[in-house]
């Protein structure tokens, strides 16, 4: 697959990049994408929800009423789950939601996600992104030039760039990551993927 390389002014540079078909043109595996996204979201859960059970409640343990003759069921103590302020039955406890996923499945998921974006013509390759100083207005102008404004945009850089990151962080639905941080969730959670030219080789080296 060939894509024209644009500059940040939105003009074609006359150069083209040949994308590796083994990464950008495979038949997407929906189940692999589902598993990788599920793992990403599960691994980001805090799992700190907690409710006090009967044994952890601080109420007194005295018997609240007589054993017989009350006209109802035998009353227990104030910790009873059926009483207001009592313990919680089967309440949440701290737990780890993360789970393991094979490396090959994760790579297949990322290749599938990239192939899906390439198939839908949602990948844009730019030769470079250069800003003199962090400025949101400059990033908005670049997005307008590349015709991705108003979409969920994912910028993929070869290496971290504080100027680009600060220029984009106040723009709604815009995410900037490096090749090392590239994941299936980020790709699937975007409508347009803008990749800097020198990041293509790094992506192919990682996923080939």
Supply the pLDDT for residue 61: 87
Residues of the chain with CATH 3.40.1370.10: 2-45+97-207
Tens place of pLDDT per residue across the chain (208 aa): 899 999 999 999 999 999 999 999 999 999 999 999 999 999 999 999 999 999 999 988 898 888 899 898 888 889 999 888 999 999 999 999 999 999 999 999 999 999 999 999 999 999 999 999 999 999 999 999 999 999 999 999 999 999 999 999 999 999 999 999 999 999 999 999 999 999 999 999 999 8
Q: Rounded to whole angstroms, how far apart are CA atoms 110 and 204?
A: 11
Supply the pLDDT for residue 139: 96
pTM, rounded to two decimals: 0.86
Element (H, E) at 153: strand 153-157
Supply the pLDDT for residue 74: 86
The CATH H-level superfamily of 2-45+97-207 is: Ribosomal protein L4/L1 (3.40.1370.10)
Which strands sit side by side in the sheet containing 153-157, from one edge to the other? Answer: 12-18, 2-6, 123-126, 192-196, 153-157, 174-178
Rounded to 10 degrees, the C-alpha dihedral 99/180/139/200 comes to: -120
Asked whether the beta carbons of 176 and 157 are under 8 A apart, the reply is yes
Supply the pLDDT for residue 196: 96
Supply the pLDDT for residue 23: 96
How many separate helices (H) and strands (E) can be counted in the chain? 7, 6
Supply the pLDDT for residue 208: 82
- The alpha-helical segments, DSSP class H, found in the chain are 21-24, 30-43, 103-119, 136-145, 162-168, 184-188, 197-207
Supply the pLDDT for residue 60: 87
């Amino acid at each position: 697959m060939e894509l024209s390389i644009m500059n940040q002014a939105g003009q074609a540079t006359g150069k083209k990049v040949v994308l590796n078909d083994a990464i950008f043109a495979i038949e997407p595996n929906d189940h692999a994408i589902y598993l990788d996204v599920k793992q990403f979201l599960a691994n980001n859960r805090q799992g700190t929800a907690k409710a006090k059970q009967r044994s952890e409640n601080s109420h007194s343990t005295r018997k609240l009423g007589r054993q017989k003759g009350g006209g109802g069921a035998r009353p227990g103590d104030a910790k009873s789950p059926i009483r207001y302020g009592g313990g919680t039955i089967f309440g949440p406890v701290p737990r780890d939601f993360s789970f393991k996923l094979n490396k090959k499945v994760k790579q297949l998921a990322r290749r599938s996600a990239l192939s899906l974006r390439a198939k839908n013509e949602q990948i844009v390759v730019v030769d470079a992104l250069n800003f003199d100083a962090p400025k949101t207005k400059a990033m908005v102008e670049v997005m307008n030039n590349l015709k991705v404004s108003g979409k969920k945009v994912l910028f993929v850089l070869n290496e971290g760039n504080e100027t680009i990151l600060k220029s984009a962080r106040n723009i709604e639905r815009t995410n900037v990551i490096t090749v090392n941080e590239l994941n299936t969730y980020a790709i699937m959670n975007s409508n347009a993927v803008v990749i800097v030219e020198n990041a293509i080789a790094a992506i192919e080296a990682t996923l080939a």
